[in-house]
Amino acid sequence: MRLLTFLLTLMPLAATAQTAGWGNLGQTEDKGFSWTAPLWPSFWMAWTPATLLVFIGIFTAMGILTVLEIRRPGGDERQGVLGLTTTRGDRLFITLLGTSYIFMAWLGLIGMPLWWPLAISIGWGVFCFWKV
C-alpha cells in the first residue's frame, strides 16, 4: 500500500519529465540545417535541400540560356569537334546527359567516393561548351 502511494506520487513527476524532454530519448536531436534532412516532412514529394539544389541548378541553367537566347538569338549554332551541329541548349543537354553517364559508370565500375567523376564531369562540361 505504501509502495502504491509512492508510485502514485511519482506519476505526475513522470508526466512532467515526459513533457520536459525525457520522452525524446533515443530520437535524433534537431541539429539545425542539414542538406540531407527532409525539407518539408509532411509533403509527399520528399524534397531534401540537396535534391532541390540540383533542380534549382538545372532550371537556373535553362533560365540563363533563355536570357542569352533573347539577347543573342540563333543559339550560337556551330559545328563542333564531334561533327554535330549544336546550339547552346544542345551543349547543355549533352553536358547533363554525359554527366549522368560518367557518374553511373563510376558508381557501377569503381564505387563510392565520387570526387573523381565530379572532376571528370566538370571537365566534360567545359569541353562541351568549348569544343562540341
Partner 1 sequence: MRKVNQKAWFFVLPVLILVAFNALVPMMTVVNYSVQETFGNNQFFWHGLGWFQDILRSERFHAALGRQFLFTFLILIIEVPLGVIIALSMPRKGFWVPVCLVTMALPMLIPWNVVGAMWNIFTLPDIGLLGYFMNHVLGIDYNMTRSPLAAWVTIITMDVWHWTSLVVLLCYAGLVSIPDAYYQAAKIDGASNWAVFRYIQLPKMKQVLTIAVLLRFMDSFNIYTEPFVLTGGGPGNSTTLLSIDLVKIALGQFDLGPAAAMSLIYFAITLFVSWLFYTLMTRHDVK
Contacting residues toward partner 1, per CB under 8 A: 36-38, 41-42, 44-48, 50-51, 54-55, 73, 83-85, 93, 97, 100-101, 103-104, 107-108, 111-112, 114
Residue 85 backbone dihedrals phi, psi, to 5 degrees: -90, 115
CB of 1 to partner 1, least distance (A): 44
CB of 65 to partner 1, least distance (A): 15
CB of 21 to partner 1, least distance (A): 22
Q: Which of residues 12 and 73 has its CB atom nearest to partner 1 in the complex?
A: 73
Q: How far apart are CA 12 and CA 110, in angstroms?
A: 58
Terminus-to-terminus CA distance in the chain, angstroms?
A: 88
Residues 104, 109, 111, 116, CA torsion sign: negative
Q: Which of residues 6 and 43 has its CB atom nearest to partner 1 in the complex?
A: 43
Strand, helix or coil for residue 72: coil
Question: Which residue has 541539429 as its cell numbers?
Answer: 31
Q: Which of residues 55 and 116 has its CB atom nearest to partner 1 in the complex?
A: 55
CB of 85 to partner 1, least distance (A): 5
Single out the residue of 128, 65, 72, 119 nearest to residue 96, CA to CA. Answer: 128
